Structure 1
Amino acid sequence: MRRPVVKPSSILSSVAVTLCVAAAATAVHAQSKTLYIGMNGGPMEKAYTSQVLPMFEQANNAKVVVVPGTSSDILAKLLANRDKPQIHVAFLDDGVMARAVSMGLCAKLDDSPVLKELYPFARMKDDVGAGVQLGMTGIAYNTKLFTQKGWSAPSSWLDFADPKYKGKVVFQSESSSTFGLHGFLALNRLWGGSEKNVEPGFTKWPNTVGPNVVEYVPNSAKISEMVQTGEAGLFPLTPTAVADLQDKGLPVAYVSPKEGPVLLLVDVCVVKHNPDPQLAQKLAQFLLSKPAQEKAAEAGKQIPTNRLATMPASMQKSLGNVESLLSKVTVVDWDAINARRPEWDKRWNQQIER
């Protein structure tokens, strides 16, 4: 029996098919990995997805998907999936981050030169997390309303207790908002209290700030609406949050209280036992870097925690000297706060917002 004749062209075609299959397999293997990052939605999510995260994705052949939510929302997700995390990296307000760390949800950050570029206070103990955005809770006010009333700009935390602002103060709930908690603690401190003693705050509030409050809101989302209607005249907020309102065309301004604002960091945490710890560590280091934080400042007015990062000129002008602001900032004791928070929340709901 004669063997069939195999033409050279057939051999070449077979080889080509084999090479194509191999190339396809290699392409599938090289497909970008997906990381999930938990952070606040709205302006922060928009800034990071539009300007910051694409830099990391292109450099690392990866896709970063934002899981939006408040810090409390993200913490709840981490707890629900602590044995098999679905989130690789999380942004949490510093108070919530302290709780996450105490629950063993965060892995130690890899030692990296970028950690030495941060403001010292931005590095958490044992590097289990680090500040990725600098915030300072101070006083925000409705400039249009103040002009109409002939009021000068506020200058002190004690202005919240000034009777002339009766019915024009909006305060975030201590039990659900870091802004509200900071404002309460700042006044409590001026009245002789501390994070370990909030009796002055709870005792004095009903006869000082309380009568001025038109509404206690669970978060700051409603404030923009209340500014437009003229209901909100004075409320605790950060420069970044005020800038977001200004971008919407609202007549608001930020004031750093003469007693000092309260430090509010947004921290980044690599979630322990996440599916890709190596790439998650790389993402965290990138987010703390000078290029990433400059993009975040440009796109979302996020104040850098990396000392080498610069801000846009307009943002720098609005804030003034950040080093000078930081010299007056109050740093709260989150361990003391979190140990007593459930009791405070109960008292706040019973005595203040009843």
Structure 2
Amino acid sequence: MKYTLGTAVLGISALLGSTAFAQDNTLTINSFGGAYETAHRACIITPFEAATGAKVNVVTAYSADAFAQLRAQKDAPQFDVIHFSGGQEIVGAAEGLLAPIDPASLSNAADLYDFAKANLDKGQGPAYSIAAIGLVFNTEAVTTPPTQWTDLLNPDYSEHLVLTDISNAYGMLGFLMLNQVQGGDLTNIQPGLDAVGKLLDAGAVVVSTSPEIQQEFAQNDAWIAPYASDYAFTLRNAGLPSGFAQGAEGTPASFITTNLVAGRPNNELALKLIDMSISPEAQQCFADALRYSPTNTKTELSPEVAADVAYGEAGVAGLIRFDPAAIEANRTAWVEEWNKAIAR
């Protein structure tokens, strides 16, 4: 079933009921701008406002910037709900910037996969979408879809492979997975660096941004790139034949979380917004619009959309979340080593 604004309003009207809110009927949240923010408004914000009469003020701020604002405003935070895609909720919860959530306060919490609600009591908000990192490929040039991360080493792909710089969050996750299948881990990235060196020697290229990936597929005969599931959809919308495959060894995942900010007066209203974010209707809408993977077990996707994401028990079973705190602690040193490896 196609998710529409009308079904959103009906769905969350039943969810939210006619509760009268004692506090100011306004929430301030962040969103990530661009196509993401457009979908965020269509799938959650606008239906929420329509169903509750509340006003949601949106500050466009990516995860790192939003977290910096939250820290700076510790004694008087502006956000009621804050969204992260880089694991900042782990640090924010430890620093007391985020409030614990009682699962009983969320009607949809019971339907989430366990990994999406693992640390609510610690202040880490639920994951409401997943950006799955796998193998984006040209469906016309690659007639047999890749099935594992080691396929990146296939000599047939040598001059048609696009790697993404690890200054890019998705590039980092793809590199860490390549490192893992080559025998490395978060304490040793040398196997991954060695593999990257060999791939570059064989003809692979490195880009820094998503638009550069599209340019390589459109103009420079790129066939395959380790990147996020939503980007295969982006390429296809641009008229390029593309598909997405999860590697059998595992699927690195960027968790997009919705978090309750500590020290704010509108917790009841904020929790209703969080609850809507983890509803199957909202998650179906995000998957349809952007090809993010749902975390609610009751989310129903069309076969076309399901083929582009990590979906269902089997699809999410292979999700891997590399420790965001370890990534952040090592990022500067890793980027330095990466830059040495690709300087050729």
Give the TM-score normalised by the residue count of structure 1.
0.78
Length, aligned pairs only: 320
> Offset of 1:305 from its aligned partner?
0.8
Report 1:1-354 matches (<5 A). Answer: 33-111=25-103, 112=105, 113-125=107-119, 126-144=122-140, 146=141, 152-174=144-166, 176-209=167-200, 211-217=202-208, 219-274=209-264, 276-319=266-309, 322-352=312-342
Give the TM-score normalised by the residue count of structure 2.
0.80
Alpha carbons of 1:32 and 1:178: their partners in 2 closer, same or farther (altered >3 Å)?
A: same
> Offset of 1:59 from its aligned partner?
2.2
Report the AA paired with residue 274 of structure 2: A
User: Contact between 2:207 and 2:213, CA under 8 Å: does it hold in 1?
Assistant: no
Alpha carbons of 1:210 and 1:54: their partners in 2 closer, same or farther (altered >3 Å)?
A: farther
Alpha carbons of 1:296 and 1:73: their partners in 2 closer, same or farther (altered >3 Å)?
A: same
Measured against aligned partners, the alpha-carbon deviations of 1:255-295 in whole angstroms (never above 9, x if no partner) come to 11122222332111122334633322221122112333233
Distance in 2 separating the partners of 1:137 and 1:164: 22
Name the counterpart of 2:8: none
Distance in 2 separating the partners of 1:107 and 1:210: 49
Distance in 2 separating the partners of 1:222 and 1:34: 40
Distance in 1 separating the partners of 2:97 and 2:283: 25
User: Contact between 1:31 and 1:61, CA under 8 Å: does it hold in 2?
Assistant: no
> Offset of 1:163 from its aligned partner?
3.8
User: Contact between 1:262 and 1:330, CA under 8 Å: does it hold in 2?
Assistant: yes
Counterpart secondary structure, 2:180: helix
Distance in 2 separating the partners of 1:196 and 1:262: 17
User: Contact between 1:110 and 1:281, CA under 8 Å: does it hold in 2?
Assistant: no
Report the AA paired with residue 147 of structure 2: S
Alpha carbons of 1:51 and 1:190: their partners in 2 closer, same or farther (altered >3 Å)?
A: closer
Measured against aligned partners, the alpha-carbon deviations of 1:285-320 in whole angstroms (never above 9, x if no partner) come to 221123332333344433221112222343135558
Counterpart secondary structure, 1:264: strand
Alpha carbons of 1:139 and 1:69: their partners in 2 closer, same or farther (altered >3 Å)?
A: farther
